């Protein structure tokens, strides 16, 4: 956000319901609720010609927003290490991750959420790879932000990001779209996410980063920023 402001853009972000500085409502902790919250922010601020940039679950929010609310206020879209089109394995998505992966996340979250987030941070930023250079500060920041999320909200978000099917949402994209993804993403595998999404979005531009993890906006900050700025100016 700072980088884009320094390059002349207005930047607006929100904390997802149940996360960090937002309230922790008991209901609507799913993609429809997330997308409608985004719509409320956009409409309250009367934003037009906006570029929607979503990372991970945020990419799902962008997709569902366009699916539910269209692109009348949207000029471009960017999906970074995003969860669409669908993560969980099924008969129609045999390359997906088994439901047991997400069940294990839920049980670990309930058992010891603090340790769960510490462990998740390692894979999130690829710190568990040989030769990785991820600062302790980055890992601590991930843990701090995660611990500010409501437990019920975080628990229900696992179902939201893993089981929501965004296929029809992606087909409604009618604005220039950039898909960015790390090729060593251990959280959202690139072959079952970005590469499938790009095929569903007409004219999508794709950028893949060899060896990059899910948290590439931190580990490859300068490169991701430069590619994002180039797309915004194109």
Catalytic residue among 169, 185, 192, 227: 185
Q: Of residues 56, 146, 162, 197, which has the active-site annotation?
A: 56
What tokens were used for 66? 């366009």
Q: For residue 171, how many other CB atoms are within 10 A of its CB? A: 14
15 is a catalytic site residue: no
Burial of residue 5 (CB within 10 Å: 0-12, 13-18, 19+) is exposed
3-state secondary structure of 187: coil
Cα–Cα distance between 35 and 20 in angstroms, integer? 17
Question: Minimal CA–CA distance to 41: which of 72, 76, 65?
Answer: 65
Residue 56 is among the residues annotated as catalytic for this protein: yes
CB 209 within 8 A of CB 183: yes
CA 23 vs CA 14, 31, 113: distances in Å: 12, 17, 19
Owner of token pair 């531009």: 205
Backbone angles phi, psi at 175, to 5 degrees: -125, 160
Determine whether 214 is an active site residue. Answer: yes
Strands (E), the chain: 50-55, 74-80, 177-182, 205-209
- Which active-site residues does the annotation give? 56, 185, 214
């Amino acid at each position: 956000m700072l980088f884009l402001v320094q390059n002349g853009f207005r930047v607006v972000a929100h904390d997802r319901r149940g996360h960090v500085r937002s309230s922790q409502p008991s209901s609507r902790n799913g993609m429809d609720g997330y997308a409608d919250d985004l719509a409320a922010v956009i409409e309250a601020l009367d934003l037009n010609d906006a570029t929607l940039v979503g990372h991970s679950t945020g990419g799902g929010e962008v997709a569902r927003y366009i699916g539910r609310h269209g692109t009348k206020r949207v000029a471009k879209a960017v999906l970074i290490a995003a969860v669409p089109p669908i993560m969980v394995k099924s008969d129609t998505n045999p390359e997906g991750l088994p439901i047991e992966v997400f069940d294990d996340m839920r049980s670990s979250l309930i058992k010891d959420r603090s340790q769960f987030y510490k462990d998740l941070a390692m894979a999130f930023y690829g710190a568990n790879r040989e030769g990785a250079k991820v600062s302790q500060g980055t890992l601590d920041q991930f843990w701090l932000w995660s611990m500010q999320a409501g437990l019920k909200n975080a628990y229900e978000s696992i179902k939201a990001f893993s089981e929501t099917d965004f296929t029809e949402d992606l087909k409604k994209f009618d604005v220039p779209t950039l898909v960015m993804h790390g090729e060593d993403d251990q959280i959202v595998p690139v072959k079952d996410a970005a590469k499938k999404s790009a095929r569903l979005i007409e004219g999508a531009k794709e950028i893949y980063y060899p060896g990059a993890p899910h948290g590439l906006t931190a580990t490859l900050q300068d490169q991701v920023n430069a590619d994002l700025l180039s797309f915004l100016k194109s």
